[in-house]
Structure 1
């Protein structure tokens, strides 16, 4: 076991130069070093199968790696925290030691002079940002990201000592200072446009931010889950490189953590994927009371990337994020659209299309009965449920849950699209009452299609949340749905035609 450093003197990067040269020498890391990359806080040594990260001997306003013991603590914490999501990637903390004879060694018996994080190397061509850039971030990846976020946030430590109104305000002010203090003055313009409305939202939601902190919604999150810190590894979407060096940055509201990849998907032109991640998470967690904060959180994450791109000299990238932030910072108008009709009428396709027209970013909340029912039984939406899950009692519970969730989202100021058969007149009346109680506008749409069209559609479904089959459709066709007072839409055509008709009805 290497010894601790005899002294704790602050050192500069010049003092690390011998360690850097040592690590680059053939054979030191077991395999030849193929590439060395320098980031703003680390040096990365790439071999054929490994990456070794050396934290730079620097002190910045938000981190301190000035001494070997601080770098050791940060390396150990990096491995510990990242193993929550990427246990097969973060392998070990390795010591660079100075041996009695004066030379450096890896994991020798002498005194430790520096520390490395050893990681398994993965194919960075499969980073989520590169998948998004090339149009390869599809529905499977979006669903996987949603499940990753759901599972991660359920497992991580609650941190009521962090977060809240003061922390969020300071985070925005710190980002503003970084932009206004940059050498490129165009970055200050981005801050001037976006920071004031963000600070106003912070103040408007002061109490909600504090309430959520006290209720355990501030947790030891990833803290930096943009698409560049997600990768397909062994076929699984995996988050890596979380914030380990500053708990003020890492310990945030779970919805602020969620907002980062959602915002980034929108930035890369994948609103449908962002919608999938957002809705999957919301239906599973039912955290609808926090939706008031989404304009603040989404635009706040855009500001983070504005700073990161700008300070890296990528001014056009910074401009794109700033422009997106200005769109996301305006709260949408709450309204409720209910879409009913028999199975196979295309309700869900229409719902997701309409939702993107009702709010920026990921769009309106879509409360799909099929997904709500699956979450009631603690299974992913694509898993089939037994017949017992469709009992009269289970269906009643599902509708009660849908109504409650719709109300919570509406009073939080977010638009909602409710997607269910709504075959019972009482259920149609109940969803209308939800809108009235929440003080939101209501529109009901009923999708009509011939029986043979319904049968063909349900027979062709794959990997879908609906378990309805031809038997279910046949039973529905025989049922009396009562008088339909909602706007009736001919749903026998293609999705684009039906969506256009639905938009006209709005």
Structure 2
């Protein structure tokens, strides 16, 4: 090494790169950002990333040779999901005039050179500014689906990185690096439940993880799929994948997508995250993804808890304000992981119920699509059970034909048997039925107790005037439901009140509003109900 480099360290290089004179194109402004592993310099229309000379165990940038290797890897790997962004690796040199880029001096470090993108084009900004379009989400999904298809690992690697044992070990390793939260009893209880829910999910779903391997869902993924890394700039551009450790990229595609969905949840855009996931399932036919997504979102949120904990531990003792900010964000991620744990600890019986034409099936269909869970519809079961009737249209008087109390009892029995089969496999279900009678609701509550499921009765409430308008519109339509305006008064009179249901399981929802608003209300309210029920089960 050059004799004048005896005082060289990373700090002097960073100081030099904050000056416009360092760069051949002399940018008007330099913005310096940093992470715990890199220094990033926004220099006009270019970005230069320099790796810090650190060895953290899971990554090693401690030597010049290793930093060069991983700079090259960063460019190679990120070019998979970008176009004209990663421009190459530049030599950082030293000569008598000091540091420079690609001068004739001695090479002392390397920088990844990139075209600069605007923050206004990130998915994060688009979400916050309400500018995300369905078209962009579809393009993003297709980009990721094509990427995963081209990145499937060989069988030996799939078995190694996607195995039930490997996933369990990842979870245990993550838990081992968490703070003990001894000073906060509430947080400590949340961690205990998250650990218990993780173990329960793993114990119940070994076959599911094995099936993920068999169906080629273990891939060389992005590894750090967050909203701030996704851009709408001359097409979909996805930056900043993990280059420093391939074991962080070799994983289930569900884990990769879970990071993105979790990030969207954290920002407050859960309906958008569910929309993205449901569209991905639709175009890829990855029917199992939604069964593991909450598990992986919980894992990803707890990884963020660990990362913030490590950052807090490394902070100077006098930096109280920044430490308090990090503690707050760490606890936000813990709360998010807790919400996921509540959902994955026990399957959920969703019951969309209430008056005819109140929107039960519309809500049920949307929830079934978002969660990718079975939609068990009483109207369809009734037609199947009584298909031998001379007139199976069902257009008869109130409680006549296939709508007698005895016939309805058979329909609800079949509905419960069908639901039980799904619940025993660990899947949540949606029961779409009026549930006019208290006994019908009590039978569903008993099923929840028998299968250790959580349950939410979504009572669809709609003004009678709107219901009658909808029923009138049905007169000239072919619908699965046979309920018509002529049945309204008798059905309204026969409807038992829902006040026997506790607030822990009952969610009244107004359904004379846009469907997206209804779904957002349901998704916002589910956490509190599931938290109460899971707490009761946990003693």
Normalised-by-shorter TM-score class: 0.5 to 0.7
Of 75-84 and 347-356, deviating more is 347-356
Shift, 1:409, TM fit: 8.2
Instruction: Give yes or no for contact 2:89–2:112 (8 Å, CA) kept in 1.
Output: yes
Aligned counterpart for 1:49 among listed residues 30, 45, 48: 45
Task: Please give the alpha-carbon distance, in whole angstroms, between the structure 1 residues aligned to 2:279 and 2:295.
Answer: 20
1:350 aligns with 2:363: yes
Task: Please give the alpha-carbon distance, in whole angstroms, between the structure 1 residues aligned to 2:374 and 2:424.
Answer: 15
Instruction: Give yes or no for contact 1:292–1:412 (8 Å, CA) kept in 2.
Output: no
Shift, 1:243, TM fit: 0.9
Instruction: Give yes or no for contact 2:290–2:372 (8 Å, CA) kept in 1.
Output: no
Shift, 1:273, TM fit: 0.5
Paired position in structure 2 for 1:17: 11
Paired position in structure 1 for 2:20: 26
Instruction: Give yes or no for contact 1:86–1:239 (8 Å, CA) kept in 2.
Output: yes
Instruction: Give yes or no for contact 1:75–1:115 (8 Å, CA) kept in 2.
Output: yes
Shift, 1:20, TM fit: 2.6
Do the aligned partners of residues 125 and 103 (structure 1) sit closer, same or farther apart at CA in structure 2, a change above 3 Å counting? same
Aligned partner of residue 117 in structure 1, secondary structure: strand
Aligned partner of residue 162 in structure 1, secondary structure: helix
Instruction: Give yes or no for contact 1:299–1:325 (8 Å, CA) kept in 2.
Output: yes
Instruction: Give yes or no for contact 1:92–1:117 (8 Å, CA) kept in 2.
Output: yes
TM-score normalised over the length of structure 2: 0.61
Paired position in structure 2 for 1:66: 62
Task: Please give the alpha-carbon distance, in whole angstroms, between the structure 2 residues aligned to 1:56 and 1:44.
Answer: 10
Paired position in structure 2 for 1:123: 118
Instruction: Give yes or no for contact 1:194–1:303 (8 Å, CA) kept in 2.
Output: no
Shift, 1:220, TM fit: 0.7
Listed as ranges, the gaps of 5+ residues in structure 2 are 313-322, 376-418, 433-450, 460-466, 493-509, 523-539
Aligned counterpart for 2:107 among listed residues 92, 104, 112: 112
Shift, 1:97, TM fit: 3.1
Instruction: Give yes or no for contact 2:174–2:302 (8 Å, CA) kept in 1.
Output: yes
Paired position in structure 2 for 1:403: none
Aligned partner of residue 95 in structure 1, secondary structure: strand
Task: Please give the alpha-carbon distance, in whole angstroms, between the structure 2 residues aligned to 1:498 and 1:120.
Answer: 40
Paired position in structure 2 for 1:413: 426
Aligned counterpart for 1:333 among listed residues 343, 347, 358: 347
Do the aligned partners of residues 12 and 90 (structure 1) sit closer, same or farther apart at CA in structure 2, a change above 3 Å counting? farther
Q: How does 1:351-430 map to 2 (within 5 A)?
A: 351=364, 354-355=367-368, 363-365=371-373, 413-415=426-428
Shift, 1:241, TM fit: 0.8
Shift, 1:251, TM fit: 1.0
Paired position in structure 1 for 2:331: 319
Task: Please give the alpha-carbon distance, in whole angstroms, between the structure 2 residues aligned to 1:73 and 1:50.
Answer: 21
Do the aligned partners of residues 69 and 183 (structure 1) sit closer, same or farther apart at CA in structure 2, a change above 3 Å counting? farther
Paired position in structure 1 for 2:435: none
Aligned partner of residue 161 in structure 2, secondary structure: coil
Aligned partner of residue 112 in structure 1, secondary structure: strand
Paired position in structure 2 for 1:295: 294
Paired position in structure 2 for 1:149: 144
Aligned partner of residue 9 in structure 2, secondary structure: helix
Shift, 1:138, TM fit: 5.9
Shift, 1:337, TM fit: 7.8
Instruction: Give yes or no for contact 1:13–1:58 (8 Å, CA) kept in 2.
Output: no
The alignment covers a number of residue pairs equal to 405
Greater Rg by CA: 2
Aligned partner of residue 294 in structure 1, secondary structure: helix
Cα-to-partner distance string for 1:370-425 (whole Å, 9 max, x where unaligned) = xxxxxxxxxxxxxxxxxxxxxxxxxxxxxxxxxxxx99987753345699xxxxxx
Shift, 1:55, TM fit: 0.4
Task: Please give the alpha-carbon distance, in whole angstroms, between the structure 2 residues aligned to 1:305 and 1:238.
Answer: 24
Instruction: Give yes or no for contact 1:194–1:326 (8 Å, CA) kept in 2.
Output: yes
Paired position in structure 2 for 1:243: 242
Shift, 1:202, TM fit: 3.2
TM-score normalised over the length of structure 1: 0.65
Instruction: Give yes or no for contact 1:180–1:188 (8 Å, CA) kept in 2.
Output: no
Q: How does 1:94-493 map to 2 (within 5 A)?
A: 94-98=90-94, 103-109=98-104, 111-137=106-132, 139=134, 142-158=137-153, 159-160=157-158, 161-180=160-179, 189=188, 191-234=191-234, 236-310=235-309, 311=311, 313=323, 314-330=326-342, 331=344, 333=347, 350-351=363-364, 354-355=367-368, 363-365=371-373, 413-415=426-428, 477=476
Task: Please give the alpha-carbon distance, in whole angstroms, between the structure 2 residues aligned to 1:495 and 1:88.
Answer: 41
Do the aligned partners of residues 179 and 185 (structure 1) sit closer, same or farther apart at CA in structure 2, a change above 3 Å counting? farther
Cα-to-partner distance string for 1:172-209 (whole Å, 9 max, x where unaligned) = 23332332389998998464553343244334434533
Instruction: Give yes or no for contact 1:97–1:105 (8 Å, CA) kept in 2.
Output: yes
Instruction: Give yes or no for contact 2:308–2:327 (8 Å, CA) kept in 1.
Output: yes
Task: Please give the alpha-carbon distance, in whole angstroms, between the structure 2 residues aligned to 1:264 and 1:244.
Answer: 20
Shift, 1:304, TM fit: 2.0
Of 267-276 and 194-203, deviating more is 194-203
Of 345-354 and 204-213, deviating more is 345-354
Shift, 1:85, TM fit: 1.5
Instruction: Give yes or no for contact 2:511–2:518 (8 Å, CA) kept in 1.
Output: no
Shift, 1:120, TM fit: 1.2
Aligned partner of residue 46 in structure 1, secondary structure: strand
Instruction: Report the aligned-residue RMSD.
Output: 4.9
1:78 aligns with 2:91: no
Do the aligned partners of residues 351 and 138 (structure 1) sit closer, same or farther apart at CA in structure 2, a change above 3 Å counting? farther
Listed as ranges, the gaps of 5+ residues in structure 1 are 357-361, 368-405, 420-438, 455-475
Aligned partner of residue 180 in structure 1, secondary structure: coil
